[in-house]
Structure 1
Amino acid sequence: MSAEQRSRNNVFSGLALDRCSERRTDVAWLDEAWRTNSARFLVLNPEGKALVVDDATSLRFLDGRERDTLFDAAQPLLLGLDDREAPYFALSASAEAALAIANATGGRYLDLRKAGLGLASFEAGLFAYARGVTHWQSRTRWCGACGHALIIEWAGHRARCTNPACAIEHFPRTDPAIIVIVTWRDACLLGRQATWPTGRYSTLAGFVEPGETLEDAVRREVFEEAGVRVVDSDYHSSQPWPFPSSLMLGFTARADDPAIKVGEEIDEARWFEVDEFVRDVEGGALGLPPPLSVSYRLIEHWLRAAGGLELSALESPAAWT
Structure 2
Amino acid sequence: MDRDDPAANAVRWADPGAVLLRIGPRGEAAVTGDPARLAADRPSGRRDPQRQLLIGTVAGRPWFVTRAVPVAGPGRRIESLRGSDLPPAQREIVWAGMAALNWHESAPVCPRCHAGTRVGEGGLSRICTACGTVVFPRTDPAVICAVLDDRDRIVLGRQHAWEPGRVSVLAGFVEAGEAAEHALVREVAEETALRVTAARYVSSQPWPFPRSLMLGYVARAEGDISPVDHELAEADRYSRDQVRDLVAAGTLILPSPMSIARSLIEAWLADRLPVPESGADLSVPLGAALPEPGQP
Q: TM-score higher than 0.5 here? A: yes
How far does residue 224 in structure 1 lie from its aligned partner after superposition?
Answer: 1.0
Task: State how far apart, in whole Å, the 1-side matches of 2:250 and 2:144 are.
Answer: 24
Aligned to 1:27: 6
Q: Residue 270 of structure 1: which of 219, 232, 236 is its match?
A: 236
Q: CA 1:49 to 1:230, structure 2 compared with 1: closer, same or farther past 3 Å?
A: same
Q: Which segment is superposed worse, 283-292 or 128-137?
A: 283-292
SS in 2 for 1:205: strand
How far does residue 203 in structure 1 lie from its aligned partner after superposition?
Answer: 0.8
Instruction: Look up the equivalent residue of 2:252 and give its one-letter code.
Output: L
Contact 1:201/1:286 (CA < 8 Å) preserved in 2?
yes
Contact 2:193/2:223 (CA < 8 Å) preserved in 1?
no
- Structure 1: runs of 5 or more not aligned: 1-21, 307-321
Contact 2:72/2:78 (CA < 8 Å) preserved in 1?
no
Task: State how far apart, in whole Å, the 2-side matches of 1:179 and 1:35 are.
Answer: 41
Contact 1:201/1:288 (CA < 8 Å) preserved in 2?
yes
Instruction: Look up the equivalent residue of 2:7 and give its one-letter code.
Output: A
Q: Residue 244 of structure 1: which of 171, 188, 210 is its match?
A: 210
Instruction: Look up the equivalent residue of 1:112 and give its one-letter code.
Output: L
Aligned: 1:42 with 2:21: yes
Aligned to 1:74: 48
Structure 1 length as normaliser, TM-score?
Answer: 0.73
Aligned: 1:291 with 2:267: no
| Residue identity (%) | 36
Q: Residue 65 of structure 2: which of 77, 87, 90 is its match?
A: 90
Instruction: Look up the equivalent residue of 1:296 and give its one-letter code.
Output: R
Aligned to 1:232: 198
Task: State how far apart, in whole Å, the 1-side matches of 2:62 and 2:13 are.
Answer: 8
RMSD between aligned alpha carbons?
Answer: 2.8
How far does residue 235 in structure 1 lie from its aligned partner after superposition?
Answer: 1.1
Contact 1:208/1:217 (CA < 8 Å) preserved in 2?
yes
- Structure 2: runs of 5 or more not aligned: 273-296
How far does residue 150 in structure 1 lie from its aligned partner after superposition?
Answer: 0.6
Deviations 1:12-64 (A, max 9, x none): xxxxxxxxxx3222233222222222322222334443344599943333335
Q: CA 1:46 to 1:262, structure 2 compared with 1: closer, same or farther past 3 Å?
A: closer
Aligned to 2:173: 207
Contact 1:56/1:110 (CA < 8 Å) preserved in 2?
no
Deviations 1:131-178 (A, max 9, x none): 2111211222222343211111141111122222xx332222221111
Q: CA 1:106 to 1:92, structure 2 compared with 1: closer, same or farther past 3 Å?
A: farther
Structure 2 length as normaliser, TM-score?
Answer: 0.79
Task: State how far apart, in whole Å, the 1-side matches of 2:157 and 2:210 are.
Answer: 23
How far does residue 263 in structure 1 lie from its aligned partner after superposition?
Answer: 0.9
Aligned to 2:291: none
Task: State how far apart, in whole Å, the 1-side matches of 2:266 and 2:35 are.
Answer: 28
Instruction: Look up the equivalent residue of 1:151 and give its one-letter code.
Output: R
SS in 2 for 1:286: coil
Correspondence list, 1:142-291, <5 A: 142-164=109-131, 167-186=132-151, 187-255=153-221, 257-264=222-229, 265-291=231-257
Contact 2:17/2:62 (CA < 8 Å) preserved in 1?
yes
Q: Which segment is superposed worse, 170-179 or 53-62?
A: 53-62
How far does residue 126 in structure 1 lie from its aligned partner after superposition?
Answer: 1.4
How far does residue 185 in structure 1 lie from its aligned partner after superposition?
Answer: 1.4
Task: State how far apart, in whole Å, the 2-side matches of 1:285 and 1:215 are.
Answer: 32
Aligned to 1:131: 98
Q: CA 1:74 to 1:47, structure 2 compared with 1: closer, same or farther past 3 Å?
A: farther
The alignment covers a number of residue pairs equal to 268
